[in-house]
Chains A and B, each alone.
Chain A
Amino acid sequence: MELAPYLILGCIEGLVTAAVLALMAVGLSLVFGVMRVVNVAHGEFFMLGAVLAWFVADQLGGHPAIAFLAALIIAPLLVGTLAMLADMTILKRISYDPERTIVATIGLLYIIQQLTLMTYGSNARPVEPPFNQRIAIPWFEWTDGGLSLYWPWGLGTTSYKLAVIGFAIILLLGIWVLMTRTRIGLIMRATQLDRDVAQAYGINVDRVYAMVFGLGAGLAALAAVLIVPIQQAHYLMGHDPLLLSFIVVIIGGLGSLVGTVIAAVMIGLSDGLISVFFTPTLAKIIATLMVTFVLIFRPSGLMGSK
C-alpha cells in the first residue's frame, strides 16, 4: 500500500478542520482581545448556527444551493444578534468582570444547549451541500512506459470540502482587512489598547463591545454553517469545537489573530494526519498534550506578548 495518497487525504481533511477551527477561534480570540473576557458559550453559538442553518434550509426547500446561501446569510446574523442581546443584558451588567463573565457564559451555554434540546430535539439532521462532486486523489506509479497516473481505489474528497477551505481563507482575509484597514477596525483596536482613553475620545465603548461579541458569535455560526453539510447538526456538537478553539487560542497566544490562524492550521493538520493512523480519541489526547508542551516552553503562546 502506498502511504502518500493517505497522507494527502489526511491533509485535506485536516485543512477542512483547520478552516472551520480558524474561523471559530478567531471569533473567540477577537472577543478576548478586545473585551478581555472568555466566552465559554462560544461552542453553543457554533451549534446554534448549524441548527439554524438546518432550519432555514428546511423551511425554504428548493434548490440546495439557494437554501444553503440563505442559511449562510441568515444564521450568522441571527446568532450575532442574539449574542449582542446577551452582551447587553448580562455581560454589561456584571461590568465584564473576567471570572463572573466565565460563570455567566457557562450558564448561557446550558441555557442555549438545553433550549435547543427542548425545541430541536436530540436528533442529528443534515443540510444538503450546494454542490458535491467527487474528486478522486490521483497518484503516480512506475510502469514500463514510465511515469503514469492512477487513482487509488476509494480515496477521494469532494468539491465542497475544497470550497470550504477556499471560502474560509477569503473570510479570514476579510477579517484582517476589517481590523487593519477600516475605521471600525481602528475603533476596535483602540478599545483593545485602552478602554478608558478610547471612551475619553468619544468612542461608544458599550456599542463596540456589543458589536465585537456579536461578530465573534457570528463567526462561530458561519463556521458551523460551512461544516453542517459535512457533519450533521446536533445539540451537543458545540462541545468539541469549543475545546479545540480554546487549544488554538492558547497555543496562538491569547488575543493574537495571526497566532490563532497559525495554530488552527497546525492543530487541524495534525488532527487530520493523526486521525489517519490512530482513533479520534487518541488524536484528541495527543492534541491536548501538544498544548502542554507549548505551555511548558512558551507560557504565553506562540505569538503572545509577555
Chain B
Amino acid sequence: MMMSDSKKSVVFHLGFLALLFLLQFILPAYHHGNLARIMVLATYAMGYNILFGYTGLLSLGHAMFFAAGMYGMGLTMTHLGWTAGPGMLAGLLAGGLVSAGIGFLALRTSGVSFMIVTLMFAQAGFLTILYFGEWTRGDEGFVIRQADRVFAGIDLSHPTYRYLAALLLFGICLMLTIRLMQSRFGHVLIAIRENEERTQMLGYDVHFHKWMAVIASGTMAAVAGAAYALLFGYAGATFASVQYSIFPLLWVLLGGAGTALGPFIGTLFMFYLIDLSSSLTTAYMLIAGVALVLLTLFLPQGLVGEWRRKMMPWLT
C-alpha cells in the first residue's frame, strides 16, 4: 500500500505519541516526572519552531510569551480566585494579545533588528514583572496551591494525571503544528523562509502571514507557560528572563529547526545534558554555550534534520 507523504508523516507522529503513552508504565518515578516536564517545555519549543523553524524569523523574546501565559493564568487564579479552566483560558488569551501587540510593533523591523527588538521587549516584560513585585512576587515567584490545581475533578498535581495532561497538551500541539504546516497557510510560511521577495512577488501578503505566525507561535508558547505553572505549581520571574528566550532556540536548533519532532528531541537531549552537568558544576550553562557553538559549526540541521535528510525525506 502506498501512502502519501503527508499521511506517512501523520502516522509516524501518532505512533510516536503512542510510544510516549506507553513509556509511562515502564519509566521509574524520577524520569517519569522529567518526561512530563520535557513534554511541556517541548510544547514551548514547538511554538518557537513555528516562527523560527518554519517562517525563518529569529526571535530572542519568546520568554515574554511563555511568561504571559504563565502569569495570565497564575495571577487570575491567585488574585481573582479563578479555577484552572478559566485560568488556562486567561493564559491563552494573554499570550494571544501580547504576541499580537508585540508582533505588530516588532515586525516593522526585519532581520537583525527584529531579533534585537524582541530581545528588548522581553527584557521590558521581565522588568515589568519585577516592578509589580507586590502582585507577582518578583524573582521569588509564587506557588499555585495544590487545591487549585484541579481540572474537571482531576488532581493535576498527581504524577499520573500530570503526565497524561502533559502528553495531551504535547500531542494536540504536535498534531496542530503538522496540520498547519501541511496546509496552504503553512506552505506560505515556508515560502517566506525560503525567499521572502519571491513570495511577495507571487502575490502573498507576507506581512500578514508573518504576523499570524508570531501570534500562533506566541500563543502556543503561552499555553505551554500556563500549563507549566498549572502542572508544576509555580510561577516566577526567572521564566521571563533572557535565559528562557535562549532555551527554545537551543532546543529547536539541537533537535532540528523546521521539523515537527525536532523541538521534543532537542529538549530531551538538552534537559538530560544539563541535568547531568549540574550535578558536577554550578556553571551548568557552560554546557549550553558549548553545545550552541558546536551545533552551528558541525550540525546546522539538528538531529531530526539530519535524520530527515538521510532517511525520511517525507517528515514534516
- Chain A residues in contact with chain B, CB under 8 A? 32, 38, 90, 93-94, 98-100, 102-104, 106-111, 113-115, 117-118, 239, 243, 246-247, 249-250, 254, 279, 281-282, 284-285, 288-289, 291-292, 295-296, 299
Contacts and interface: CB of A to CB of B under 8 A. Distances in A.
A284 B293 contact: no
A195 to B, nearest CB: 17
Contacts of B112: 32, 38, 98, 102, 254
**Size bin of chain B's contact surface:** 35 or more
A35 to B, nearest CB: 12
Best-surrounded residue of A111, A118, A279 (most CB of chain B within 10 A): A111
A115 B124 contact: no
Nearest to B132: A281
A184 B205 CA distance: 45
Interface string B272-316: 000000000111111011111111110010000000000000000
Contacts of B120: 243, 246-247, 250, 288, 291
Given A94-B296, A291-B120, A284 B111 contact: no
Interface in B98-138: 105, 108-109, 111-113, 115-117, 119-121, 123-124, 127-128, 130-131
A249 B290 CA distance: 28
11 contacts: A98-B111, A114-B285, A114-B289, A243-B119, A243-B123, A247-B120, A250-B120, A284-B127, A285-B128, A296-B105, A299-B109
B229 interface: no
Given A243-B119, A295-B117, A107 B286 contact: no
Nearest to A247: B120
B286 A111 contact: yes
A281 B132 CA distance: 10
B108 A295 contact: yes
A93 B298 CA distance: 10
A115 B128 CA distance: 30
B300 A100 contact: yes
A83 B130 CA distance: 34
Interface in B208-256: 242, 246, 249, 253
Given A98-B111, A292-B105, A117 B127 contact: no
Contacts of A109: 289
Nearest to B286: A114
A107 B108 contact: no
Contacts, number: 112
Contacts of B109: 295, 299
Nearest to B113: A250
A130 B121 CA distance: 39
Residues of B contacting A: mostly: helix
Given A281-B127, A285-B124, 19 more contacts: A93-B297, A94-B296, A94-B297, A102-B58, A104-B296, A104-B297, A106-B246, A106-B249, A106-B292, A110-B288, A114-B289, A115-B283, A243-B120, A250-B113, A250-B117, A254-B113, A281-B130, A299-B109, A299-B113
A32 B112 CA distance: 10
Contact of B293 (A111, A114, A239): A111
A90 B293 contact: yes
Contact of A113 (B121, B285, B297): B285
Nearest to A235: B283
A289 B109 CA distance: 15
Nearest to B112: A38
A104 B246 CA distance: 12
A36 B291 CA distance: 24
Contact of B286 (A93, A118, A239, A299): A118
A281 B289 contact: no
Contact of B292 (A110, A118, A239, A291): A110
